[in-house]
Amino acid sequence: MGSAQRVSAQGGEGVFQKTLLLSALAIVVLLAAIFLSLFLHSVPSLRDFGFSFLVNKTWNPVSREFGALSFLVGTLLTSCLSLIICLPFSLAISIFLGEYCIEGLLSSFLKNVTELLAGIPSVIYGFWGLFVLVPVMRKLEMKLGVAPYGVGIITASLILSVMIVPYAASIAREVISLVPSDIKEAAYSLGATKQEVITRIILPYARSGILAGILLALGRALGETMAVTMVIGNSNLLPQSIFSPGNTMASVIANEFTEATGRIYLSSLIEIGLLLFLVTTVINIIGKMIISRVSVEA
Amino acid sequence: MDRERIKMRVVKDRGFEVMVILLSLFSMVPLVLILFYILRNGFSAISWEFLTELPRPVGEEGGGIANAIVGSFLLVFVASLPAIPIGITAGVYLSENQKGKLPYLLRLAVEVLQGTPSIVIGIIAYLWLVIAMGGFSAVSGGIALGIMMLPVIVRTTEETLRLIPDTLKEASLALGVPYYRTIVKVVIPAGLSGITTGILISVARIAGETAPLLFTAFGNPFMNVNIIKPVNALPLLIYNYATSPYPEWHRIAWGASCILVGLVLLLNLVARIIVGRWKVQF
């Protein structure tokens, strides 16, 4: 190798290392900048309303009074309801794929279908919900004798649960597969039935991993925007029951951001965005931490 | 007595199995229903003019979604331009530097970005680009989508490259090949299928995103390929038409849904085929 070539190789080396470093730094800085931007633009709202922003249920753009309580309640209700609905189904899928039907046509069919379910865009779930689920809910609500809006908290929760089932199922399957087979085999050799092995050995063993899966699914549900926006009814009043229309933090941003006139209105919406960002971040980090601890132990 | 107990346990076991199977199959029902409705209502709406014409005003029959298709491709292109190189290089950095402060921070940042709600990314693109440029634009929507692509590309790149054995790298270094050429000419080509898969999956993820486009790309009833002007996209069109009161627009929204789902599923399928066929084996 000539000396000129060697010099250019060293130059290339330097440029290469710097490029890698720069990209890595860029992503870290990007995240920091996202947080800072959200925070700085929330300052007017933080200063004017302070803590009362979280406990005031009045959201009135005309009188410039902004409180996010209705949206916090709406978000909490839809996410928790959807988790409760999705839990038995996602656990069933993960147990079925992990213990009953480990390979074969049915198993790969089920695996592929759940993955496809996860790939369908959120707006299409919303569209389908609006035209198929909402009329069904309206009929159901008429039978139950509550105001038949069709749209509302419960409709949004149903759509959300359909959307998070594949995600929760894939995490549950992962943690269930981490259960060591020697303890399962030990239980079988003592004469335990499959049901006993699953409910007394596998599920207790995978408990913390399943909890992490629930947390990660919650993080998903909290931030889900389009499908919820389309079927929740977009009412800024505090929801009176699970059948009444409402709004979540994400859906109120989606609905009102482009029409937000005035500094304080926009700032209040951005503060909701900041809250959403912080809550999902904390939930995701805790969930991931539990998962990585579980995988290290196994 | 004992026999009774064993019988009970067997019955319980059977019951549990049936319940697990029923619940699993029942959770497939929504998917089947969604695909059924999209195909039934959407397929009949698709025709050559549907793909090549512009939307017509309310009240007129017909019209197409050409502007939304072109807009979606434009947005994906604008998103990929920064996201693919930055994502791959950051992924290489992560696979080459496992320990240390910056790798730790980068890993954390990627995880947080992955979990960030898409509507929040939309707010950011609005604050950074729409306000600065004085109006909605394709470029702001594209950057919002690009930010969403990043974590997927970084993670798949890192995961792929970590699977490549050190012996391959060492062999190249032993021949006197400089480090950066070893990475560019040996390591990255060996992991190309994984990296390509990551890119396809990230494109599939953003192609259907609506929330970050609501106040960035905004939508546009006309054909536009100028990246500093507002642009329409398939998911935006579906949202706007589905929530409108006109049956004719609903028909168009079903057709657009059919095309969007087809595109996303196709991308996922191709990604899976690449992983299966080209899988790096050592």
pLDDT of residue A1: 44
Chain A positions touching B209 (Cβ under 8 A) are: 121-122
pTM: 0.93
Element containing residue A82 per DSSP (H, E): helix A69-95
By CA distance, what is A165's nearest residue in B? B27
Residue count of chain A, please give it. Answer: 298
Question: What are the extents of the domains in chain A?
Answer: 3-53, 69-297
Closest Cβ opposite residue B112 in set A12, A20, A281: A281
The verdict on A285 touching B (C-beta cutoff 8 Å) is yes
**Distance between CA A43 and CA A56 in Å, rounded?**
18
User: What number of other Cβ atoms are within 10 A of residue A84's Cβ?
Assistant: 11
Rounded to the nearest angstrom, the gap between the alpha carbon of residue A269 and the centroid of all alpha carbons in its chain is 20
Work out the minimum CA distance from A121 to partner chain B, whole angstroms.
5
Residue B2 has what pLDDT?
A: 83
CB-based contact B210 A225, cutoff 8 Å: yes
- Nearest-Cα distance to chain B for A54, in Å, is 19
**DSSP per-residue letters across chain B:** -HHHHHHHHHHHHHHHHHHHHHHHHHTTHHHHHHHHHHHHHHHTT--HHHHHSPPPPTT------HHHHHHHHHHHHHHHHHHHHHHHHHHHHHHH--SSHHHHHHHHHHHHHHHS-HHHHHHHHIIIIIHHHTS--HHHHHHHHHHHHHHHHHHHHHHHHHHS-HHHHHHHHHTT--HHHHIIIIIHHHTHHHHHHHHHHHHHHHHT--GGGTTTTB--SS----TTS-B--HHHHHHHHHTSS-HHHHHHHHHHHHHHHHHHHHHHHHHHHHHHHS----
* Contact assessment for residue A214 and residue A168, using Cβ atoms and an 8 Å cutoff: yes
Give chain B's domains with CATH numbers: 68-232 (1.10.3720.10)
Supply the pLDDT for residue B280.
Answer: 56
| Distance from C-alpha of A112 to C-alpha of A126, rounded to nearest angstrom | 22
Q: What is the pLDDT along chain B (282 residues), one digit of tens a residue?
A: 688 999 999 999 999 999 999 999 898 898 889 999 999 999 998 999 899 989 888 878 888 899 999 999 999 999 999 999 999 999 999 999 988 999 999 999 999 999 999 999 999 999 999 999 999 999 999 999 999 999 999 999 999 999 888 899 999 999 999 988 999 999 999 899 899 999 999 999 999 999 999 999 999 999 999 999 999 999 999 999 999 999 999 999 999 999 999 999 999 989 888 877 765 555
| Model pLDDT, residue A292 | 87
pLDDT of residue A293: 87
Q: Is B20 within 8 Å of A199 when comparing Cβ atoms?
A: no
Chain A, 47 to 76: residues with Cβ < 8 Å from chain B are none
Could you tell me which CATH class the domain A69-297 is placed in? mainly alpha
Cβ proximity of A83 and A218 under 8 Å: yes
Q: Which residues contact A21 (CB under 8 A, 6 or more apart)?
A: B93, B102
pLDDT at A14: 87
**Residue type present at position A270:** I
Cα–Cα distances in Å, from B137 out to B81, B117, B120, B202, B227?
16, 21, 18, 22, 6
Q: Which of B28, B31, B127 sits opposite A37 (nearest CB)?
A: B127
Which among A22, A165, A223 has the least Cβ separation from residue B27? Answer: A165
**Residue A25 touches chain B, beta carbons under 8 Å:** yes
Provide the shortest C-alpha distance from residue B256 to chain A (in Å): 10
Per-block average pLDDT, block size 10, for chain A (298 residues)? 54 87 96 97 95 93 93 96 95 91 82 82 95 95 91 96 91 89 93 93 92 92 95 93 94 93 93 97 93 80
List the single residue in B90, B112, B116 with the smallest CB-CB distance to A23. B90
pLDDT score at A103: 80
**SS3 call for A233:** strand
Q: What is the DSSP string of B131-166?
A: HHHTS--HHHHHHHHHHHHHHHHHHHHHHHHHHS-H
Residue A7 structure tokens: 């010099």
pLDDT at B282: 54
Residues 135-174 on A with a CB inside 8 Å of B are 162, 165, 169
Residue B1, pLDDT score? 62
